[in-house]
Amino acid sequence: MAHFAWLDANNRVTNISVVDNVNLLDENGNESEAVGVAYLTQVHGEGFVWKQTSFNTDYVYEYEFDDSVPPKLISATIVGSEHALGGTPFRGAYARVGYIYDAVTDTFTPPVVEDAPE
């Protein structure tokens, strides 16, 4: 199975669709993102932007806590990404609803969350 993120006009992920691998195969029998996008366009119609994402890829975070008991999280910083099965990470992390696709870096990034009021 392959996962595809549906992007809105601001490159924000609005939905995730799962495509059976048989609907990803090109004329040579190789999996192809373009074939998957063509399949999703056939199913959902024109006007949607789709980007493939990997369920096995996620960000690696470095956490900083204060000295209170129990400790409070001060920050979580992305320090890289990894593939759960040891492969090459794909597009930074698995796209989730609300993530943003960055075309320059070809990655999905979590939305920026404003600090909650104290």
Model pLDDT for residues 77-104, shown as the tens digit of each residue? 888 899 999 988 999 999 999 999 999 9
State the pTM of this model: 0.82
115 pLDDT exceeds 70? no
Q: Please tell me the distance from the alpha carbon of residue 50 to that of residue 56, in angstroms, as a whole number.
A: 18
112 pLDDT exceeds 90? no
**Residue carrying the six token digits 């910083």:** 77
- Asked if residue 115 is part of any domain, the answer here is no
Q: 75 near 115, Cβ under 8 Å? A: no
Maximal CA-CA distance, the chain: 60
34 pLDDT exceeds 90? yes
Structural domains of the chain, count: 1
> The tokens of 54 are what?
């990997």
- Asked if residue 45 is part of any domain, the answer here is yes
- Asked if residue 60 is part of any domain, the answer here is no
Domain span at residue 50 reads 2-55+85-109
- Asked if residue 66 is part of any domain, the answer here is no
- Asked if residue 42 is part of any domain, the answer here is yes
- Asked if residue 79 is part of any domain, the answer here is no
The angle subtended at Cα 29 by Cα 25 and Cα 32, nearest 5°, is 40
pLDDT for 52: 97
- Asked if residue 28 is part of any domain, the answer here is yes
Mean pLDDT of 63-90: 91
